[in-house]
Amino acid sequence: MKKYLASIVIFLLALSIAAPSFAAPVTINIAVANNYISQALSRIATAEYKAEGVTVSISVLPENDLRQRLTAEASTGGAAYDIYYIGPYEAQTWARNGWIENLEPYFEKLTPEEKAWYDRDDLIKGMVQSVSLDGKAYGTPFYGEGSFLMYNKELFAAKGLTMPERPTWDEVYELAKKIHDPSNGIVGMTMRGAPGWGMSGAPFVTMVNAFGGKFFDMDWNATVDTPEQRAAWSMYKKILREAGQPDILSYTYNECVALMQSGKCGMYYDATSIAPPLEGADSVVRGKMGYVYAPHDKLERNNAWLWNWTMCLNPKAEQAKKDAAFKFMLWATSKDYVALALKHDDTGSSIPPAVRSSTYKMPFYAAIPYVDAELAVLESMDFTKPCLDPVPYVGLQYIAIPEFADAGDKMTQNLADYVVDNITLDEAIKRTQEVFEAVAEDGAYKD
């Protein structure tokens, strides 16, 4: 019997030698989201990235998996991934929690030639801000988006309407009603209707900001039950119910884009990254679209949203890996990479947008209709002052606290119930007010 057990132990030892080598000396592990531009990074890096003794292992995960996996890893102090591929929502709290590394020391160590090559001043300010804490960069944004209002010039012309360069929500609502024509299958305006903080929550929260609303005052008292918020709630409903898509709640941005592409919709408020498919070869509305600033109300500037995918360093990784990883991050967010992306894919769909001003000055962009509007929106954004009044949080289409994901989901659920008349405005506001009161209490923010 002892021999038997001994032989099992020997078997295990033999196994550990025979086990396939699962990690080369310096292998940088990174997982990216499975969207087009991130997948392109995976392809281009495999083909083009060369650094002595360094292997980059990139896997592509569904966005939700990625977010959950990385959050769980960062919070438990794991080192499965050396580079975290996250957004500003995570980056803000993670920087505060010490889950991602301050990059300033790494930037300081660069030679002057390297500094000139990377050209930090070329990066769009709002994007860098969104992944910085106390003015120190904690990540290098890879690509991003703002939001603007897209409209179908042809439909506008047919009704003799014009779009102001900086429309208000009231104007947008009036325009939407004029264009809305169900008997001919024309929809006035579309926005995301499917619940979820990253879904209908994104346009809706910027709408709350635009109307001068906020979610907390400086003492972390929930401020959902205010006239400003009520105005935003009823405007969202008015537009979608009186001039919106028929099946409101099932619309994610995919459905919205498809509707817009079909040429049967007047306006669409969403991310700047939506514009390329509208101007794509198979789009009916190609060349017929106009682009203007996100609609406003009391808050006249800075009412768009801002998102990006950013690479950050895992502080738990070994120093050698961190150094190699930082080099890779620089490469992936450099001007060189932008050029490579165009070389590998001459339609330009792989180019990471919204991070470098120089990207928009490339000859490739000269003839593209949305470029000026996009760059104007991006350069006007201020991540740190989301609301009309001072607030204790940052973030434009969300609040950068960990509890917001859950609270935002509940809020958009109430919003959905309100839009389809399951509950009244009073009930929706009351429930959401309670949700945010619970957040302040649960997260011990008032202490």
Partner 1 sequence: MAENNIDEVRQSATLHRLLRGFLLAVLIYGIAVLYFFPILYMFLSGFKTEAQAVNPRIFFKPTLVTYKKVLGDPTMHQYLKNSLFQVGFGTILCLALGIPAAFAIVFGRFNKKETPGKFYVWFITTILLPPVAVLIPLFTWYQKFNLINTPWGLLAVYVGTHIPIVVWMVHSFFSDIPKEIFEAAEIDGCTKFQQMFRIAVPLARTGIISAGLLVAVFIWNEFFLGFNLTGNPTATLPVYMARFREQQGQFVAQLSAASTISVLPAVILGWLTQKALVKGLVSGAVKG
Partner 2 sequence: MPDGLQYRHKKSDYPFLLPAVIIVAVMTQVPFLTTLVFSFIRWNLSRPDMARIFYGLRNYAYFLRIKSLSELHQFYGVLFQTVVITMMTLFFCSVFGFMLAILFDHPIPGVNIARTLILGPFFVMSTASGVIWKTTILNTTFGWYGVISKALGMTPVDFISYYPKVTIITLFTWQWLPFFFLVILAGLQGIEKDLIDCARIDGANWWQTTFKIKLPLIVNHLQVAIMLGLVFVIKEFGLILTTTAGGPGTRSYTLPYYVYMEIFSASQVGRAGALAAMTVLLTLVLVNLIYRSIQRRNAKYR
| Binding interface with partner 1 (CB under 8 A) | 1, 4, 8, 11-12, 15-16, 19-20, 22-23, 27, 29, 31, 34, 57, 59-63, 65, 72-73, 76-81
The CA distances from residue 75 to 97, 262, 400, 441, in Å, are 9, 44, 16, 21
- Kindly tell me which of 76 and 162 has the beta carbon lying closer to partner 1: 76
Binding mask 413-442 for partner 2 (x = CB under 8 A): x-----------------x-----------
Kindly give the pairing relationship between strand 187-190 and strand 289-292. Answer: unpaired
The footprint of partner 2 on this chain (CB under 8 A) covers a number of residues equal to 26
Which of partner 2, partner 1, none does residue 218 bind to, with CB < 5 to 8 Å depending on kind?
none
Least distance in Å: CB of 313 to partner 2?
Answer: 18
Q: What is the rounded distance in angstroms from the CA atom of residue 211 to the CA atom of residue 233? A: 10
Angle of the 88-97 helix axis to the 63-76 helix axis, nearest 10:
10
Least distance in Å: CB of 269 to partner 2?
Answer: 22
Q: What is the rounded distance in angstroms from the CA atom of residue 43 to the CA atom of residue 133? A: 31
Applying CB under 8 A, the span of 69-77, 139-147, 225-233, 307-315 interacting with partner 2 comes to 69-77
* Contact partners, residue 152, CB within 8 Å, separation at least 6: 260, 263, 265, 266, 267, 285, 288, 289, 290
DSSP codes joined into one string, 61-93: E-HHHHHHHHHHHHHHT--S-SEEEE-HHHHHH
Applying CB under 8 A, the span of 89-97, 256-264, 285-293, 381-389 interacting with partner 2 comes to 89-97
Least distance in Å: CB of 68 to partner 2?
Answer: 4
Which of partner 1, partner 2, none does residue 405 bind to, with CB < 5 to 8 Å depending on kind?
partner 2
Closest CA to 170 of 159, 178, 181, 182: 178
Which of partner 1, partner 2, none does residue 116 bind to, with CB < 5 to 8 Å depending on kind?
none
- Kindly tell me which of 140 and 412 has the beta carbon lying closer to partner 2: 412
Among 47, 72, 80, 284, binds partner 2 (CB under 8 A): 72
Which of partner 1, partner 2, none does residue 6 bind to, with CB < 5 to 8 Å depending on kind?
none
Among 6, 8, 80, 320, binds partner 2 (CB under 8 A): 8
Q: Which two tokens stand for residue 17?
A: 């030698």
SS3 call for 296: strand
Which residues 180-199 are close enough to bind partner 2 by CB under 8 A? 194-195
Which residues 232-271 are close enough to bind partner 2 by CB under 8 A? 250
Per-residue burial over 148-168, b = 16 or more CB atoms within 10 Å of its CB, e = otherwise? bbbbbbebbeeeeeebeeebe
